[in-house]
Structure 1
Amino acid sequence: MRQITSTQNPQVKAWKKLQTRKYRQQSGQFLVEGHHLVEEALKQAGRVEELLLVEGQPVPAGSAGVALTQISPEVMKAIADTETPQGVAAICKMQEEATVLASGQRFLLLDAVQDPGNLGTMIRTADAAGLDGVILGEGCVDPYNPKVLRSAQGSHFHLPLWHQPLPEAMAALARRGVPVFGSALRKAVPFQQIQAQPGFALIMGNEGSGVSDALLDQTQSNLFIPLYGQSESLNVAIAAGILLYHLRG
């Protein structure tokens, strides 16, 4: 086990850069913090490259064969995104681009979702609903953003996530006969009119502007959720949960 106590150590500076999207993409790595996320990462073989522990923290289960580095509380605070780090973190490998689109039956497609909390919640909901993957179109926030990781609560390690132009993904699904549903406030039908589907894809859109018209024009049907109170709209992550579970049946 190696030890690093100085925040000026070159390795610490490299870990700190994992808080930026550019360096995550360059390195193919991301950092997760806290006992729960580290435990979930360790359950997927080969995803954790290195464990970082503050002295006194127990070694997590499932870490046999993983490189272990003991760091000082100062180093943990320097590399962490949270105000009060739990004393355990992991350097993880990003997923490779998925091939599940060729065989999976249920997908969530995201069009320019920009809020990290919303993206993480939708990834978590897709995981809970048993979907086969989440496809991120242009304009989406980085799925390895620390706030996305915390909101998803480990679901990054449970289902495939990948970037792909949504028209391309929709065309591939159409060739396989998988219906694609959009979510919209206008020119749409109440979601209750659509029955549960053995296979489907659902597109959710940007928090302010929704799904682009160009994509809505290519769907099999567009759905809206009736509002019975005075609110003008539902949060996109809440709406995704309602629609996914309805279509899932």
Structure 2
Amino acid sequence: MEKIVSVKNDRIKAWKKLNNKKGREKQSAYLLESWHLVNEALNANQDIKVILTTTKQLSLHQNELSQYNGELIEINDEVANHLGSTITPQGIFAIVGLPSKEDINENNINGSWLLLDNIQDPGNIGTMVRTADAAGMSGVIFGKGTSSQFNPKVLRSMQGSQFHLKIIEGNLQYWIDILKNKNYQVYGSELNENAFIYSEIVPSENFALIMGNEGNGMQDDLLKITDKNLYIPIKGNAESLNVAIASGILMFHLKK
């Protein structure tokens, strides 16, 4: 097994750049951090190029890692701290190939979908993806302005649910047109008492739900092309609901 003990190693320098979009696109790969996410990727048969692990993590997960047939590299704590994006990295990482954009197209879109319109907080995004997973949704579309699914903070927040769903990054209007052509109901969400009360909507198998920006809500041009825009009545004195909480209420109601 190869061992790397210097942060000046050329491969370590290259992998450190996977924490930004330019580096990910150039190398067609992204960096996963923590045993939980690495294990989720292994179980989901993701395209893992390399696993990097400290001696401690190797001893803790030797049985599971023995099933991995790819390149395994031992690193020291200095390298782990350099690569990690948390204050105290666990000491295990995976270099994973970016999924092909051809894997998902208009011909294999089916089921229920959550669309994220300019959602920027990684914690909100992760909660929404995990909730979509729990609600039995088919996939999530990250629209323009939404933080990337490969952002380290977003990856940590999704906690592996991204491997249980289809994830797309793309233009929401393009995908809304495709879903409408499939006779999907496309629901928007807005803090507007004149919108449809969400509980009056009959649950279904095939639909799309759009959730908008934390502070500004959905873009006006998207609100205009939905079939119905949904409202969650506020019973107490709070001004509004957190977008991730609101998405959970809506998804669990809408999904048949």
Q: TM-score normalised to the size of structure 1?
A: 0.95
Identity of paired residues, percent?
Answer: 44
What is the one-letter code of the residue matched to 1:36? H
- The number of residue pairs the alignment matches comes to 249
What is the one-letter code of the residue matched to 2:169? H
Counterpart among 63, 87, 94 of residue 98 in structure 2: 94
Check the 8 A contact 1:134/1:161 in 2, yes or no. Answer: yes
Counterpart among 70, 76, 80 of residue 84 in structure 2: 80
Question: SS of the counterpart of 1:180?
Answer: strand
Match of 2:150 in 1: 144
Question: SS of the counterpart of 1:198?
Answer: coil
Query: C-alpha offsets along residues 147-172 of structure 1, whole Å, 9 cap, x if unaligned?
Result: 11111000122212112211111111
Check the 8 A contact 1:2/1:70 in 2, yes or no. Answer: yes
Check the 8 A contact 1:108/1:133 in 2, yes or no. Answer: yes
The correspondence of residues 32-111 of structure 1 with structure 2, limited to 5 A, is: 32-58=32-58, 59=62, 61=64, 63-97=67-101, 98-99=103-104, 101-102=106-107, 103-111=109-117
1-side partners of 2:244 and 2:53: how far apart? Answer: 33
Counterpart among 222, 232, 240 of residue 239 in structure 2: 232
Offset of residue 128 of structure 1:
1.5
Check the 8 A contact 1:18/1:24 in 2, yes or no. Answer: yes
Question: SS of the counterpart of 1:61?
Answer: helix
Offset of residue 109 of structure 1:
0.8
1-side partners of 2:63 and 2:242: how far apart? Answer: 36
Query: C-alpha offsets along residues 216-239 of structure 1, whole Å, 9 cap, x if unaligned?
Result: 111110101111111111111111
Question: SS of the counterpart of 1:195?
Answer: coil
Query: C-alpha offsets along residues 185-237 of structure 1, whole Å, 9 cap, x if unaligned?
Result: 12411101111112110000111111111111111101011111111111111
Alpha carbons of 1:184 and 1:235: their partners in 2 closer, same or farther (altered >3 Å)?
same
Match of 2:195 in 1: 188
Match of 2:126 in 1: 120
Check the 8 A contact 1:39/1:60 in 2, yes or no. Answer: no
Match of 1:219 in 2: 226
The correspondence of residues 137-216 of structure 1 with structure 2, limited to 5 A, is: 137-186=143-192, 187-216=194-223
1-side partners of 2:36 and 2:234: how far apart? Answer: 36
Check the 8 A contact 1:121/1:152 in 2, yes or no. Answer: yes
Offset of residue 26 of structure 1:
2.1
Aligned alpha-carbon RMSD (Å): 1.4
Q: TM-score normalised to the size of structure 2?
A: 0.93
Match of 2:2 in 1: 2
What is the one-letter code of the residue matched to 1:86? Q
Query: C-alpha offsets along residues 31-63 of structure 1, whole Å, 9 cap, x if unaligned?
Result: 111111110010122421111110132336164
2-side partners of 1:196 and 1:231: how far apart? Answer: 27
Check the 8 A contact 2:142/2:148 in 1, yes or no. Answer: no
2-side partners of 1:158 and 1:225: how far apart? Answer: 28
2-side partners of 1:148 and 1:183: how far apart? Answer: 23
Structure 1 residue runs without a partner (length 5+):
none
What is the one-letter code of the residue matched to 2:104? T
2-side partners of 1:101 and 1:136: how far apart? Answer: 16
Deviates more, 1:212-221 or 1:100-109: 100-109
